[in-house]
Structure 1
Amino acid sequence: MNCTKCGAPEVIIIKKHSGQKLCQDCFVQGIERKVLKDIRKYKLIEKGDKVLVALSGGKDSVMLLDILNSLYERGIINMVAVTIDEGIKGYREDGVKIAKNHAKSLGIEHRIVTFDEYFDLTLDKIMDGSSQRKACTYCGVFRRWILNKVALEMGATKIATGHNLDDETQAILMNYLEGNIENLAKIGPKTRSKSDKFTVKIKPLREIPEKEIGLYVVAKNLEVHFAGCPYSEESFRGEVGQILKNLSRKHPTIMYSTLRGFDKIRPVIKKEFQKEFGVGECTNCGEPAANELCRACIFLRELEK
């Protein structure tokens, strides 16, 4: 079996959705070209941007940092990395260490921030108490609040996250099943707001399957934190993700077709259902908010009670 690109005999992946058989070099180069092409296609990054990479130490964020580093080295962008320690004992410590090592090896400014520092809480403490919601709900809201705040403090013009194809199709299906059309309208390669306090978020890996991201970091011998979050098993996202993985075994193009179909109707959904979000300010913390309080402050008040 030979590589369909260069003819090399050592194939490391057969892409079921396209039929391609690729050797290590052609696979890595193809992934990098695809991500950089999507950055240009969706105008995710402009020359002179200061990009804040949300670096957890997991495979997605490590790959994202690795690919964006090519733009950083060429002087096209400035780049900083931020790692959030949610306070998950026995899990987060390894990711923080790996993230720190990667940023240091690339010479990229790196900042580690914690839930405890901003909220006087850890995710473990939240879940040990009488929490009204699942861990992923609290974690997602608090992480987004911190990233936006830190991005403003560091002068970043874009926040880049490692959301992959699996993540994006899960979000599409989750919000549809829950009837949350307003959230569905916000899904896309780039999220922006009219508020000056809201930093644009971008997803350069949005069209790359999780499996290929795992293979990329192994092929490039990148150190990553492969352990899964202990709280993710209880999440609705995890259930939806399993459904999509099961479907993909017999229908290998299902996630691509889900994303492509959604992107075709996204402009209509956005026009009809998306409310302007982030145009006001939270009366408690001053961060962007659609209502009197932002979601982070709403959750904090719930937890205080």
Structure 2
Amino acid sequence: MDICHKCGNPKIIIKRKQSGQMLCQECFIKSIQEKVLKDIRKQKLIEKGDKVLIALSGGKDSVMVLDILNSLRKRRIIDMVAVTIDEGIGGYREEGVMIAAENAKKLGIDHRIISFKDTIGRTLDEIMADSGDRNACTYCGVFRRWILNRVAREEGATKIATGHNLDDETQSILMNYLEGNIHNLTRIGVCSDSSYEGFTPKIKPLREIPEKETALYTLARGLPVHLAGCPYAGDSFRAKIGTFLKEISQDHPTIMYSTLRGFDKIKPAIKKEFSKKSSMGICRVCGEPSASTICKACSFRNSWNVD
């Protein structure tokens, strides 16, 4: 009979293919929490006294980050604030925003909701209606980063925590390699390392946690999450790479871990050889850090004549 390898409980909720380990609900939750907190200490992602801004979408990954980092807040090691960005995707985003607010309220964490419409003048739906062939992820990524950096500074946050998991990170590695975007590869990692004072460092506490385990964690913890997928993501290059990785992982369950470990070993050499040495300045329109006179977000906005 299968039993939990930690406590002997016969009620198993997971068997990890990569290790063969079987765990019951309580031991699985504990193992995930210990792993994430250990990675935070090992990578020095958080220091005592940090104020961490949680990028809280309401999805399983960001809700899990909120839940685990709240243990540090309760011990008064850190302070926290949660921010949800409403991109304005009809029939999809409303539920995620509501669930994000529910999770933050339950834990007593300050929560802000920032919309594309109020901040940049258009919803993502409106942007895509006039975008031509450009991918929605291009606009969404630029504006989300722009908003998070501004809000982090307004809130006095010293770190921005995102819910990027193992699947997300290996997808990014493979995508940028296949596209030959070596410069982007130099920026992938557990923590952004820009030394420019206008940027708030971004951390990824779930970088070594598989996506299926983030889903199981929120289910085991009984946390409300928004499970629907973004309607704009289905045909994206990232989605295709994600499908490929999931399929190959069926026969090679450690492939994402080995991809991540291998990349981390060669990243210093890639960074040394290919990092662009560009002088960072200030966008003359919005005042945000930018390598050009106008940042990408304002470049998009100017093309729409949006103030």
What's the secondary structure of 1:13's corresponding residue? strand
Write out aligned runs for 1:145-160 (5 A): 145-160=146-161
Find the counterpart in structure 2 of residue 129 from structure 1. 130
- Name the CA shift for 1:78/1:21 in 2 (closer, same or farther; >3 Å): same
Find the counterpart in structure 1 of residue 248 from structure 2. 247
Moved more, 18-27 or 274-283: 274-283
Shift of 1:192: 2.6
Shift of 1:26: 0.8
- 8 Å CA contact 1:191, 1:200 repeated in 2: yes
In structure 1, what residue type is equivalent to 2:18? H
Find the counterpart in structure 1 of residue 231 from structure 2. 230
- Aligned-residue sequence identity (percent) comes to 66
Gaps of 5+ in 1: none
- 8 Å CA contact 1:57, 1:96 repeated in 2: yes
Shift of 1:277: 6.1
Find the counterpart in structure 1 of residue 37 from structure 2. 36
C-alpha separation in 2, matches of 1:146 and 1:296: 10
C-alpha separation in 2, matches of 1:131 and 1:83: 27
What's the secondary structure of 1:113's corresponding residue? strand
Write out aligned runs for 1:251-290 (5 A): 251-276=252-277, 279-290=280-291
In structure 2, what residue type is equivalent to 1:94? E
In structure 1, what residue type is equivalent to 2:267? R
What's the secondary structure of 1:191's corresponding residue? coil
List per-residue Cα deviations over 1:141-178 (Å, max 9, x = no partner).
10000000000011000000000000000000000011
Find the counterpart in structure 2 of residue 100 from structure 1. 101
C-alpha separation in 2, matches of 1:71 and 1:112: 23
- 8 Å CA contact 1:193, 1:276 repeated in 2: no
Shift of 1:267: 1.0
Alignment coverage as a number of residue pairs:
305
In structure 1, what residue type is equivalent to 2:104? A
Query: Is 1:109 paired with 2:110?
Result: yes
RMSD in angstroms over aligned alpha carbons?
A: 1.3
Q: Which runs of 4+ in 1 moved over 2 A?
A: 275-279, 298-305
- 8 Å CA contact 1:198, 1:278 repeated in 2: no
Shift of 1:294: 1.5
What's the secondary structure of 1:275's corresponding residue? coil
C-alpha separation in 2, matches of 1:156 and 1:249: 40
Shift of 1:276: 4.6
List per-residue Cα deviations over 1:233-255 (Å, max 9, x = no partner).
12110011111111111110010
Find the counterpart in structure 2 of residue 65 from structure 1. 66
- 8 Å CA contact 1:5, 1:26 repeated in 2: yes
Gaps of 5+ in 2: none
- Name the CA shift for 1:264/1:138 in 2 (closer, same or farther; >3 Å): same
List per-residue Cα deviations over 1:116-164 (Å, max 9, x = no partner).
1111010000111133410011101100000000000110000000000
Shift of 1:304: 4.7
Write out aligned runs for 1:156-195 (5 A): 156-195=157-196
C-alpha separation in 2, matches of 1:130 and 1:79: 36
With normalisation by structure 1, the TM-score equals: 0.97
C-alpha separation in 1, matches of 2:278 and 2:8: 51
- Name the CA shift for 1:121/1:293 in 2 (closer, same or farther; >3 Å): same
What's the secondary structure of 1:230's corresponding residue? coil
Find the counterpart in structure 1 of residue 15 from structure 2. 14
C-alpha separation in 2, matches of 1:42 and 1:264: 15
What's the secondary structure of 2:234's corresponding residue? helix
List per-residue Cα deviations over 1:254-302 (Å, max 9, x = no partner).
1000000000001111122122568311122111111222121222234
- Name the CA shift for 1:276/1:5 in 2 (closer, same or farther; >3 Å): farther
Find the counterpart in structure 2 of residue 51 from structure 1. 52
